[in-house]
Amino acid sequence: MRTSLYKSHDELKMMVPAGLLTAAALDAVEAAIRPGISTLELDAIAEKTIRDGGGVPNFQLVPGYSHTVCASVNDAVVHGIPNSTPLEPGDVVSIDCGAKLNGWNGDSARTFIVPGEITRPNASEWLAEANRVSDATRAAMWAGIAAFASARHLNDVGTAIEVAIDEQAGPLGNLENYTGHGIGRDMHEEPTVFNYRVRRRGPVVRAGLAICIEPMLTGGSPDVTVDDDGWTVRSADGTVASHWEHTVIRHADGMWVTTAEDGGAAGLASYGVVPVPLA
């Protein structure tokens, strides 16, 4: 059944608790991340948070996937599968997570750098590069979210993301063939949300549109490979990678980031965008 691109106000309101539960799961992962913990343990922490909150880990509803999070480490960009390898100081870990609550979904990702003394060669250069790529990806996400607040057409978001990436210093690879998406009763819905400029304008942005904005960047080329596991997407040149994502809605009175406790206020402040809670 094809559902409308545009949700009712009551439907959008249902998405707020699902977003907050998704944020809580990522907060719990963030609080737990340290040297020696594995991504499988982080997965269990996220699952417990979601189930304790009355939700279902919606990644487990994706055919063929049995975990709560995707955990993509260092040169892995997205879709990494949690495993038992202990994390080391300086590891760059992108955690993508979603909760379904009362039939509605949230989806969000953050990149963390494992604290502690880095023992790998060229430690300070590694850390600087990890921060550069993660900060650029996060900035690109907020630029896209800020554009969504006033966009007439959805593909303005991708243009804003591309412009934001171009403003950053140093090489960055913006993944092709991987995009954001609509979200609602299903985690992945129409429409496609591009992370780059495209010729088509895309759907009209108006009240009722609920989407995930999720740039994925490497520190070099946009070319990627997929591991033999069929999931893990890595930078082909081995550069460190990052993934940041939020679920964002446009409603009658403005916009709101459902997967941020403050609705995105802190991240949007430098763009002069003030998120408005749903009445």
Residues at the site binding Mg ion, with contacts judged by CB under 5 A? 96, 107, 109, 212, 245
Q: How far apart (Å, rounded) are the C-alpha atoms in residues 184 and 200?
A: 24
* Cβ–Cβ under 8 Å, residues 100 and 55: yes
Work out the burial of residue 229: count CB atoms within 10 Å of its CB; fewer than 13 is exposed, 13-18 middle, 19 or more buried: exposed
Residue 179, Cα to own-chain centre: how many angstroms?
A: 11
| The amino acid at 279 | A
Please report how close the Cβ of residue 279 comes to Mg ion at its closest, in angstroms: 27
| The amino acid at 231 | W
Half-sphere exposure at residue 104, Cβ-oriented, CA atoms within 13 angstroms: 22
Write down the residue that tokens 């802190």 correspond to.
266
Write down the residue that tokens 């989806």 correspond to.
107
The residue among 107 and 189 lying less far from Mg ion, judged by its C-beta, is 107
Please report how close the Cβ of residue 117 comes to Mg ion at its closest, in angstroms: 31
The residue among 149 and 187 lying less far from Mg ion, judged by its C-beta, is 187
The residue among 107 and 156 lying less far from Mg ion, judged by its C-beta, is 107
Backbone angles phi, psi at 75, to 5 degrees: -80, -5
The residue among 43 and 107 lying less far from Mg ion, judged by its C-beta, is 107
Please report how close the Cβ of residue 192 comes to Mg ion at its closest, in angstroms: 11
The residue among 146 and 193 lying less far from Mg ion, judged by its C-beta, is 193
Please report how close the Cβ of residue 196 comes to Mg ion at its closest, in angstroms: 16
Please report how close the Cβ of residue 13 comes to Mg ion at its closest, in angstroms: 21
* Cβ–Cβ under 8 Å, residues 126 and 37: no
